[in-house]
Amino acid sequence: VQVLASQGSVKPYGDPFYHPIYEACAEMGLPFAIHLGGHGGVNWNAVAPAPTTFFWETHAILHMSAISHVASMIAHGVFEKWPELYFVVIECGVAWVPTVLWRLDADYKALRKETPWLKMLPSEYCRRNIRFSTQPLEQPANVQHLWSILEAMDGENTLMFASDYPHWDYDDANTLHIPPSWKVKVMGQNALDVYKRIPAILTANAA
């Protein structure tokens, strides 16, 4: 149902080196996803700029590579070449998304001559083509702070539930801190829209 890669890599995933993968994804109707982890071989370093020392330190900042991949995929025009392609970011947190998009939009407006192939703002490509797993969903003391961030990234339409069970830091579907009115989309419909083969598989299994 998807093409899955590590979020640790030698080159950011927008690099033309990877474009044959996206061409194949588009041909087969599959999303391209990255999952937290990868620390050897072609999956070089999962944390920029260099390996960290402590596990909790590493665990807290593993979203850094995901930021690079999101910016790279947009800047290299992956979503202009394959406008139907979904890029799924799994287990890299989400609270960083709005601030990165704000910065990307501002810098693109000032320096758009570098990437004339882009036709939309980076935030518009993100809303159309990039999806994020909820796990690990950040847990501020005031949940309203989180909800403001999620609203800023159009979380109702860009988030997909993931539990990461049975890992120690898994998210319980019954206690997920999202606005109640979002649950139908975040807990299922958004994933069905991205993973287009799932409805056919479910129908075949039911038959």
pTM of this structure: 0.91
pLDDT of residue 61: 79
pLDDT tens profile 57-104: 877 877 888 999 999 999 999 999 999 999 999 998 899 999 999 999
pLDDT of residue 171: 86
CA distance 195 to 133: 13
In the chain, which stretches have pLDDT less than 70? Answer: 38-50
pLDDT tens profile 44-70: 555 565 677 887 887 787 788 899 999
Determine contact, residues 117/80, Cβ cutoff 8 Å.
Answer: yes
Which structural domain, as residue segments, surrounds residue 90? 3-206
pLDDT of residue 38: 61
Please give the tally of structural domains in the chain. 1
Greatest extent of the chain over all pairs of C-alpha atoms, in Å: 55
CATH number for the domain harbouring residue 23? 3.20.20.140
According to DSSP H, which parts of the chain are helical?
19-28, 55-60, 63-75, 78-81, 97-111, 122-129, 143-152, 155-158, 183-184, 190-194, 197-206
